Chain A
Amino acid sequence: MLTEKVTELKKKILEMAALVEKMVAYSFEGIETGNNKYNEVMEYEQRVNRLEMEIEDDCIVLMARHHPEAKDLRIILMIYKINNDLERLGDQAVNIAESVNIVAGNPHNADIPELSSMMDVTLKMLHQSIAAYTNEDVENARLVCRQDEIVDSYNRRITNQLIVLIKENPLQIEYYLHLLRITKNLERIGDLSTNIGENTVYLVQGRVIKHQLENTDREN
């Protein structure tokens, strides 16, 4: 009985993950091509929000009625958390899409050559984290978590570059601030993907690897 319901829930969360991944990809597309898919992103956002509420409800009802244990419990708890992460990821995509509306097709994009590399890395992280969750692949989940460093360093470098650029071209400040916002959101996407990776490890192995807890464990 519970198994069927959990399977159903898993399907829903995967559906949601697919939507979110698409949203993020759509929002990125605009920066490069200037062809902003803001409307599509907003439409997906609605569906994601509906799914988020539905999944949250399902998790609560399942826990209340079926008292899941062990793996079932971890699955439902992690779905509950990943559900939350995915919804936030959707919000990041919306933020990016909003800023892209303003920066789309602007020739100054070329000023920040690393931005597109950062986008590639975050999109890959997101994709990998969802794939790792789907396949319950601990190896790849841990790999995602390690990539967060790369995104963070992109974030630092681009931020510094933008500060320099703003000082040089104060008239372009609005444009640069939007690029800053995009960068910030990309960094968040990296963080949330990492969360999904961590949750996947907990789901499969029941181990908490957040906040370097695991490393300290090893040293001890």
Chain B
Amino acid sequence: MVTNQIQTLKLNLWFGNNHVLHDVSMGVTEKKITAMIGPSGCGKSTLLRTFNRMNDLIDETRISGKVLLDGEDIYRSKADVTNLRTRVGMVFQKPNPFPKSIFNNVAFGMAVQGKFNRSQIEDRVEKSLRDAWLWDEVKDRLNESAMSLSGGQQQRLCIARALANNPEVLLLDEPTSALDPQSTSKIEELCLELKNMVTILIVTHNIAQAGRISDYIAFMYLGELVEFGETNKVFTVPQDKRTEAYLTGVFG
């Protein structure tokens, strides 16, 4: 049996009295793209944010069950959250580069870790920008503000910034919903390339996007993981009536 890189076991999550995730047990395969789909408020983004513990920032978050990364519970009492977040990178819905130079954006993660010298940082910045298909566009203006980039470039910069930490897993929270179609397809193609080096989890409202790029589909509804399976199967013959209804646009 192939062990999953991420595995949730009977994961439940509450915001105050609001029970957001119900008994989610899901495995994520290494170096594949898993798309999480479902109607708004189904808990897919919340589930994504449990993988790098970003939900911790919200007051009164409670969790039961387990989230395993490489077999280790990331919610165990002595878990190092900052270390976890360097292993599990994240890109957000709206491109959010810091109001700093392009270089300093990408170097940020390494700078806060404080264990790299200048030349290591420079090398990694270049590699990350290349991996995010941005190097040729920015190599002559690394010291310019990241805010001078276009929306699509900013989002790729955010991907490069996450990659600079050498993560095992990359979480993408609706990464293209604020972008135009061209930038969107560029990022989709980039994802297909990146899955050679990282495991990708992507939350998307765009069913077609999930179809185009994912290897696995997790369909969430009302905080439950309704269906999980290979995209080829889920998109042609879904097992659950609710998945069928969502994919055919009956609700959502």
Contacts and interface: CB of A to CB of B under 8 A. Distances in A.
- A/B contact in complex, CB under 8 angstroms: yes
Chain B contact residues: helix, strand, loop or mixed: helix
A57 B235 CA distance: 12
Interface in A25-83: 57, 60-61, 64-67
A1 B189 contact: yes
Given A1-B192, A65-B231, A60 B236 contact: yes
Given A1-B189, A1-B192, A1-B213, A61 B208 contact: no
Contacts of B141: none
Contacts, number: 25
Contact of B232 (A1, A65, A67): A65
Chain A contact residues: helix, strand, loop or mixed: helix
Nearest to B185: A1
A101 to B, nearest CB: 40
Nearest to B234: A64
Interface residues on A, range: under 10
Contacts of A60: 236
Interface in A128-170: none
B236 A64 contact: yes
B211 interface: yes
A20 B232 CA distance: 28
B100 interface: no
Nearest to B232: A61
Interface string B55-72: 000000000000000000
B208 to A, nearest CB: 6
Contacts of A1: 188-189, 192, 212-213
B34 to A, nearest CB: 15
A2 B192 CA distance: 12
B235 A61 contact: yes
Contacts of A67: 208, 211
Given A1-B188, A1-B192, A61 B236 contact: yes
Contacts of B213: 1
B13 to A, nearest CB: 30
Contacts of B212: 1-2, 65-66
A70 B245 CA distance: 26
A82 B20 CA distance: 50
Nearest to B211: A65
A43 B18 CA distance: 62
Nearest to A66: B212
Contacts of A65: 211-212, 231-232, 235
B189 A64 contact: no
Contacts of B235: 61, 64-65
Contacts of A66: 208, 211-212
Nearest to B210: A65
Interface in B203-252: 208, 211-213, 231-232, 235-236
Interface of A: 1-2, 57, 60-61, 64-67
13 contacts: A1-B212, A1-B213, A57-B232, A60-B236, A61-B232, A61-B235, A61-B236, A65-B211, A65-B212, A65-B232, A65-B235, A66-B208, A67-B211
Closest 3 CB pairs of A and B: A65-B211, A64-B235, A61-B232
